[in-house]
Amino acid sequence: MDFEWVAIALGDVAWISLAFVLGFLVRLIGLPPLVGFLATGFVLNYLGIASGEMLQKLADLGITLLLFTVGLKLKLKVLAKPQVWAVTALHISITIGLFGTAIFGLALIGTPLFSGLDLKLSLMLAFALSFSSTVFVVKALEDKGEMKSLHGRIAVGILVMQDLAAVVFLAASTGKVPSLWALLLFLLIPLRPLFHHLLQKSGHGELLILYGLVLALGGAEIFELGGVKDDLGALIMGLLISTHPKSAEMAKAMLGFKDLFLVGFFLSIGMSGQLSPEALLIGLLLVPFIFVKSTLFFALMTRFSLRARTSLLATLNLTNYSEFGLIVAAIGVANGWMDAEWLVVIAIALSLSFVVAAPLNSKDDRIYSIFRKFLQQFQRKERLPGDMLLDTLGATIAVFGMGRVGSGAYDKMRELHGETVVGIDFDTESIIRHRSEGRNVLLGDPSDADFWNKIKQDHNIVLVMLALPNLQANLDTLEQLREISFPGRVAATARYPDEEEPLRQSGATAVFNIYTEAGVGFADHVAGQ
């Protein structure tokens, strides 16, 4: 019997175990596990352990699945907003000018590692540093359940526009232009009904997951054959089926696979080159410049009529460097344009920017609450239709989160108390559907400090029901309720037993476990027949 596979597994157990240990320790101090995964890569690099074929395949597959799931949740009309395409174009242009000038200035005075860069290479590095990380931002938004919020959609839209700019750059810099066969990729559009039909017939189990893998990997391979960036193919395939009702179910089914494979990506960043004091110092010096990018993002978003809170939350999501910088550096190194040490510099700056951005994102609503008066000075008076302050219109019961649980709670409370119930959600399409079914559902964000400030001044709400998608979203809302000393009752949902106590400690007067309590509700329903 051939036991060669055992040797392969034992060879990989070191980084798998270390990734778990460091990810777990980092989670204990309130940072996302991905920070621990990045640290694992640097530790393995220091120990002289090279990135193997298995790890690289995991990294590539993780990015492909990430972009596919982004496509599943992306709406083209978001990209058409000037708050997305205009902000992206202006931000890239201004950042290249500022960063490029600074880098070229350091090259002219003979600063180590910069001295070999001409103006063209300085601008190329500035272009790479102008981008934000799709991997980090999407992961952070998903963890907080904010992918469909306005600031989440704006941030993801900007990232997609940056990815499109990246495709153009890579094609130009590598001399790789799409082949004539790439024109056949447009045939995917009329095939959309077929993709939808197969999705509808794929059920709810393993076939649904396999179909998602076929679309993601198949789309990437088809685009690669046509001379177009493969990751863009995964994104487009997700976009083609994003309007189907089961697209959200597919995204949830593939979530675990995507998160697992992305571990390989974060490890590979830290293992991209050998550390040196010079590279470490320059990488550290680049980190503060993410706040220059942030200031520019915030200024542009507020000029395009976004509220200060929406602008700040989207900005904090984008406060990091991008893995695209490593790709740009790799092209420069492969062509002999720059020293290979730049790979390590950008890897360090990228990793540390994640460490800085992680706590900022986890405390974004708290940051806005503290600096609200100052930040509101920069917002314009006019409001976009989806970015207006919420008015509960005299309701006494508010249900936050109008998914399946929230919708059921809304219907029951309206049956008991009449039209004094209001539902609140930040998914525009969900709101349209609920309204067509006769429910009074408003567009709003339950963690919005501006909304709760208005509620504090004038409201009739005596009961808040939280049916939000995850624990963190519920905890953020409970924090806002504590800030205004809300005197009414607050009921919250939990998915797991270990979520119940944190909710109670944060102020929930009643906690409902949607899994354990579902059986009781089912029995009551049957007994009442």
Task: Quote the CA–CA distance of 38 and 163 in Å, as a whole number.
Answer: 22
Task: Quote the CA–CA distance of 247 and 71 in Å, as a whole number.
Answer: 10
Q: How far is CA 56 from CA 62, 218, 220, 347, in A?
A: 10, 19, 16, 16
Which of 280, 301, 263, 328 shows the shortest CA–CA distance to 18? 263
Task: Quote the CA–CA distance of 385 and 167 in Å, as a whole number.
Answer: 32
pLDDT digits over 222-267, tens only?
Answer: 888 877 777 778 888 888 888 888 887 888 787 777 777 778 777 7
> Which spans in 175-205 are helix H?
192-201
Q: Is the pLDDT of residue 157 over 80?
A: yes
For the chain, how big is the Rg over CA atoms in Å? 24
Mean pLDDT of the 306-330 span: 86
pLDDT digits over 433-458, tens only?
Answer: 899 988 988 887 777 777 777 665 66
pLDDT at 30: 67
**pLDDT-wise least confident of 107-111, 128-132, 166-170, 209-213:** 166-170
If pLDDT is split at 50, 70 and 90, which confidence band does 354 have?
confident
If pLDDT is split at 50, 70 and 90, which confidence band does 67 have?
confident
Mean pLDDT of the 416-439 span: 87
Task: Quote the CA–CA distance of 68 and 237 in Å, as a whole number.
Answer: 7
Mean pLDDT of the 466-470 span: 84
Which DSSP string corresponds to 47-59?
Answer: TTPPP-HHHHHHH
**pLDDT-wise least confident of 130-144, 159-173, 480-494:** 159-173
pLDDT digits over 366-383, tens only?
Answer: 898 889 889 989 988 877
SS (H, E, C) 203-262: CCCHHHHHHHHHHHHHHHHHHHHCCCCHHHHHHHHHHHCCCCCCHHHHHHHCHHHHHHHH
Task: Quote the CA–CA distance of 183 and 210 in Å, as a whole number.
Answer: 27
Q: How far is CA 224 from CA 3, 178, 231, 412, 509, in A?
A: 35, 9, 9, 52, 54
pLDDT at 4: 47
pLDDT digits over 278-305, tens only?
Answer: 888 888 999 999 999 999 999 999 999 8
Write down all domains in the chain, each with its CATH number in brackets. 57-378 (1.20.1530.20), 397-527 (3.40.50.720)
Q: Is the pLDDT of residue 50 over 80?
A: no
pLDDT at 474: 86
pLDDT at 10: 46
pLDDT at 350: 84
The helix/strand/coil state of 418 is: coil
SS (H, E, C) 357-375: HHHHHHCHHHHHHHHHHHH
| pTM score | 0.75
The larger pLDDT score, comparing residue 183 to residue 295, is at: 295
Task: Quote the CA–CA distance of 464 and 487 in Å, as a whole number.
Answer: 11
**pLDDT-wise least confident of 50-54, 64-68, 412-416:** 50-54
The larger pLDDT score, comparing residue 25 to residue 203, is at: 25
Q: How far is CA 333 from CA 266, 328, 344, 508, in A?
A: 21, 9, 12, 55
Amino acid of residue 374: F
> The tokens of 7 are what?
């040797």
CA dihedral 32, 33, 37, 42 (to 10 degrees): 50
Q: For residue 463, what is the DSSP state?
A: E
Phi/psi at 83 (5° precision): -65, -15
Burial class (CB in 10 A: 0-12, 13-18, 19+), 448: buried
Q: How far is CA 34 from CA 19, 94, 267, in A?
A: 9, 30, 9
Q: Kindly give, in sequence order, each residue whose CB lies less than 8 Å from that of residue 194, ignoring residues fewer than 6 positions away.
A: none
pLDDT at 348: 84
pLDDT at 298: 96
Amino acid of residue 466: L
Q: Give CB contacts under 8 A, 24+ apart, made by 197-205.
A: 199/241, 199/244, 199/246, 199/247, 199/250, 200/244, 200/246, 202/246, 204/249, 204/253
pLDDT at 102: 92
Which DSSP string corresponds to 337-402?
Answer: SS-THHHHHHHHHHHHHHHHHHHHHHTHHHHHHHHHHHHGGGS-S---TTSPPP--TT-SEEEE--
Task: Quote the CA–CA distance of 27 and 21 in Å, as a whole number.
Answer: 10
192-201 helix and 206-225 helix, angle to the nearest 10 degrees: 160
